[in-house]
A and B are shown apart, each in its own frame.
Chain A
Amino acid sequence: MTLRRTIPADVRPIISSALVISVAVGVFAVSFGVVSVASGASVMQTCALSLFVFTGASQFSAVSVIAAGGSVASALGGALLLAARNGVYGLSLAPTLRGSLGKQLLAAHFVIDETTALASAHEDMRLRRWAFWACGISLYTFWNIGTLIGALIGNSIDPKTFGLDAAFPVVFTAMIVPHLRTRNGRRAALFGAVAAVALAPFLPVGLPILIATFGILFGVSPDQSETEPT
């Protein structure tokens, strides 16, 4: 195969891991499509979220606040705060993504958890770039195909019968794990959880989620546990 010959040997394992991650994320996207439509978004809106927002946690969070009856402002607030971490990833990826402005603007759209993780796994700049672009392009493709399939399925089933309302906490549980490795991460998560439930009866839907963000102030003091091996 010519493709096999044109791809350098040290890049091949990177491309196969990018594809494996993308297939898994594609199935994950199906669940996003289903719950998004079930929460009142149209198929078009659901697909637009995956095409143009392209950051899973924010998409799930926005849809989850809307499903609970929250306002656009509160759904937007939480989702944007979650999206802010991609800005931090962008900072750490900037040396890897040097190039023309056009190329940087395109690369920016692919700066998410998975591409950052895969690119950061390599020391060599060339391999970092391969990992970033391979993961970004394949993830984007699978994420959007999965979303469309999910949105079409979601239109024709009753989500509660299949337990799909539990998809939100289940997905967020899987997502939060890497953030619980440090003590400050665990403190922030616990603070957020308590704030969200304790304030729910007294404030408009969505607002407790924003107040939960004050948990990041645990970061003001240095975390001894961050130096521990993980």
Chain B
Amino acid sequence: MSWWLVILLAFGAYGSKVLGVVVLGERQLSPVLQRCLVLIPAALLGALIAKDTFTTVQDFSIDARLAGLIVAIGATWKKVPLVLVIALGVGSTALVRALA
């Protein structure tokens, strides 16, 4: 991995934190902008989940990762603690892969 990614991401991530706390401070954003900004994590995490489960580089693929995702959704649904969700999801992928 390139050090550029680490450095630029560090500056960018800190920059958006400072922008909120220090630069914009107690100013109000327009309601439309606020409604859109709060949706960033939903849109991006949705995309990342789909990409990391169903694609390998650029190809569509279904493999043992799907088992991990299904178990993780079930565990999250049952309000299992985060650490256990990860262990169950990763463990079931490993299990399916070992059996296949």
Which chain A residues have a beta carbon within 8 Å of chain B's beta carbons?
A: 24, 27-28, 31, 39-42, 45, 48-49, 52-55, 57-58, 60-64, 66, 68-69, 72, 75-76, 78-91, 93-95, 97, 101, 104-105, 107-109, 111, 160-177, 179-180, 184-186, 188-197, 200-201, 205, 208-209, 212-220, 222-223
Contacts and interface: CB of A to CB of B under 8 A. Distances in A.
B43 A64 contact: no
Interface string B1-37: 1111110111011101111111011110100101111
27 contacts: A49-B9, A52-B13, A53-B10, A68-B52, A72-B2, A72-B8, A76-B5, A85-B38, A107-B21, A108-B21, A111-B17, A163-B91, A166-B53, A166-B93, A169-B68, A169-B72, A172-B45, A173-B73, A173-B89, A179-B39, A186-B42, A196-B47, A200-B58, A205-B58, A212-B43, A213-B43, A216-B37
Nearest to A175: B45
Given A40-B1, A173-B72, 10 more contacts: A58-B13, A76-B9, A76-B12, A86-B20, A111-B17, A163-B65, A174-B82, A197-B54, A209-B47, A219-B38
A101 B2 CA distance: 32
B26 to A, nearest CB: 5
B89 A108 contact: no
Contact of A62 (B9, B24, B72): B9
7 pairs of A and B residues whose beta carbons are closest in the complex: A90-B20, A163-B93, A170-B89, A166-B68, A163-B94, A215-B43, A189-B46
Contacts of A28: 82-83, 86
Contact of B45 (A90, A104, A176): A176
Given A215-B42, A219-B32, A108 B22 contact: yes
Contacts of B41: 57, 82, 85, 175-176, 179
A171 B93 CA distance: 13
B60 A200 contact: yes
Contacts, number: 319
A194 B50 contact: yes
A49 B89 contact: no
Contact of A192 (B18, B44, B85, B90): B44
Interface of B: 1-6, 8-10, 12-14, 16-22, 24-27, 29, 32, 34-60, 64-65, 67-69, 72-73, 76, 81-83, 85-86, 89-95, 97-98
A93 B21 contact: yes
User: Could you tell me the dominant secondary structure of chain A's interface residues?
Assistant: helix
Given A190-B46, A212-B47, A53 B65 contact: no
